[in-house]
Amino acid sequence: MGVNFFPAPLAAGTYVHWGVISISVTNLAIIGAMVVMFVLALVVPFPHARERSIPAQRRPDERPRS
Amino acid sequence: MTGVPVKAPAGNWTTRTRERVAHVVPEGQALPDRQPVYVASWIYVLGVLTIAAFLVVLVSGALLAVGGAAWWHVSSLGRFVNSLHLWSVELFFVFMVLHLWGQFWMASWRGHRTLTWVTGVIAFVASIGTAFTGYLSQSNFDSQWISTQAKDGLNAVGIGAWFNVLNPGQMLLWHVVLLPFAVGVIAVVHVVLVRRHGVVPPIDAEEE
C-alpha cells in the first residue's frame, strides 16, 4: 500500500465561450446554484416566523429617514 | 467594609471603556432574543451562516497547523481535515457572496449603516487575500504554479518586494496569522455595528 505522489495530470475541464467570456462548466454550475439558492432564500417561507418577532419600529437612536 | 460601591474616578480608563462599550452596544442589543418581523426570512440567515462556516474554517485550519504538511498530504485523517478546510472555505464564500447580494439589493447602507457596509467590504477583500495565500500554502505543485503566476502581477504593482508570493514561509504566516486575525477582527466589528444599528429593513418595509 502506498500513496501515489505523481497522479496523472487532471484534465483542464470543459469551458464555455461567449465572446470575451470564457468560464468552466464547473464554475458556471456553481454560479447557477448560487443564484438558485438566492432566489430560494427570498421565496421559501421562514418557519415559525411570527412567534419570536416584534413589530417593525424605529429604534430610539435612529433618525427619521428623508 | 460597608458594601457601599465606590464610584470610580472620572479619569479611570476602565470606566471610560465600560461607558464607551455601553454606548456602542446598549444593554439588550448585544444578543437580542426578538427581532422585527421582516427579519423572519432566509435572506437574513446568510450572514450568520457565513460566520458559522468561518468557525469551521478556523477549527479545521488549526488542526492542519497541528498536523503539518506531510500529515495533511499523506494520512487519511489529514486528507479529510484538509478537505474539510477546503469545503468550509467554499461554503464560507458562497454564503458571503449570497449575503452580499442580499444586502446590495436591500441597499443595506441606508439608515446610518455606511460603516457596517464598508466593514463588510473590507472583510470580503481580506477573505479573498486569505484564500489566495491558502492556495499558496498547500505545499504542492498547485501552489508552486499559482505563486509563479501571481508574482508577475504583484511585481507589476510594485509590492512584490514586501509581499513575495515565492516565499512560502511568508505566505504561510500571512495565511495562518495575519489575515485570519484581520478577518476575525473586522467580522467582530461588522457584527457589533449590525447590533448597534439593527438589521436593515427591506426597502418596502418602512420603519414605523
pLDDT tens digit string along A13-58?
A: 899 999 999 999 999 999 999 999 999 999 999 887 666 566 555 5
Pair B134, B191 in one domain: yes
Chain B residues with beta carbon closer than 8 angstroms to that of A66 = none
What's the pTM value of the predicted model, to 2 decimals? 0.82
Pair B183, B115 in one domain: yes
Q: How far, in Å, CA of B146 to CA of B166, rounded?
A: 10
Q: Which chain A residue lies closest to B197 (C-alpha atoms)?
A: A62
In a domain, B26, yes or no: no
Chain B interface mutation, best of A61, A63, A66, highest count of B Cβ atoms under 10 Å: A61
Flag whether residue A46 sits within 8 Å of chain B, measured between CB atoms: yes
Pair B148, B73 in one domain: no
Q: How far, in Å, CA of A32 to CA of A38, rounded?
A: 10
pLDDT over 90 at A63, yes or no: no
Pair B117, B143 in one domain: yes
Q: How confident is the model at residue A9 (pLDDT cuts 50, 70, 90)?
A: low
What is each CA distance from B5 to A13, B1, B2, B22, B154, in whole angstroms? 71, 10, 9, 19, 59
pLDDT at B19: 85
Chain A residues with beta carbon closer than 8 angstroms to that of B38 = 56
pLDDT at B108: 93
Grid coordinates representing B190? 461588522
Q: What percent of chain A has pLDDT over 90?
A: 47
Pair B141, B170 in one domain: yes
pLDDT at B110: 92
pLDDT at B147: 94
Pair B119, B72 in one domain: no
Pair B135, B194 in one domain: yes
Pair B122, B157 in one domain: yes
CB atoms within 10 A of CB B168: 17
Q: pLDDT of B168-186, one tens digit each?
A: 999 999 999 999 999 999 9
Is B39 close to A53, i.e. CB distance below 8 A? yes
In a domain, B161, yes or no: yes
In a domain, B116, yes or no: yes
Chain B residues with beta carbon closer than 8 angstroms to that of A63 = 112
Chain B interface mutation, best of A1, A43, A46, highest count of B Cβ atoms under 10 Å: A46
Triad B152, B137, B95: Cα angle to 5°: 95
In a domain, B147, yes or no: yes
State the ipTM, two decimals: 0.80
pLDDT at B208: 40
CB pairs under 8 A between A and B: 72
pLDDT at B79: 96
> The CATH number of the domain where B119 resides is what?
1.20.810.10
Pair B83, B122 in one domain: no
In a domain, B16, yes or no: no
* pLDDT beneath 70: ranges in chain B: 1-10, 206-208
Pair B81, B136 in one domain: no
Contact present, A58 and B201 (Cβ < 8 Å):
no
pLDDT at B140: 87
Grid coordinates representing B183? 478577518
In a domain, B122, yes or no: yes
CB atoms within 10 A of CB B183: 22
Q: How far, in Å, CA of B131 to CA of B110, rounded?
A: 30
Contact present, B64 and B85 (Cβ < 8 Å):
yes
In a domain, B167, yes or no: yes
Domain that holds residue B80: 41-92
Pair B83, B166 in one domain: no
In a domain, B17, yes or no: no
Instruction: Answer with the one of B92, B114, B134 that is the final residue of a domain.
Output: B92
Is A46 close to B41, i.e. CB distance below 8 A? yes
Instruction: Answer with the one of B92, B127, B152 that is the final residue of a domain.
Output: B92
Pair B85, B161 in one domain: no
**Number of domains present in the structure of chain B:** 2
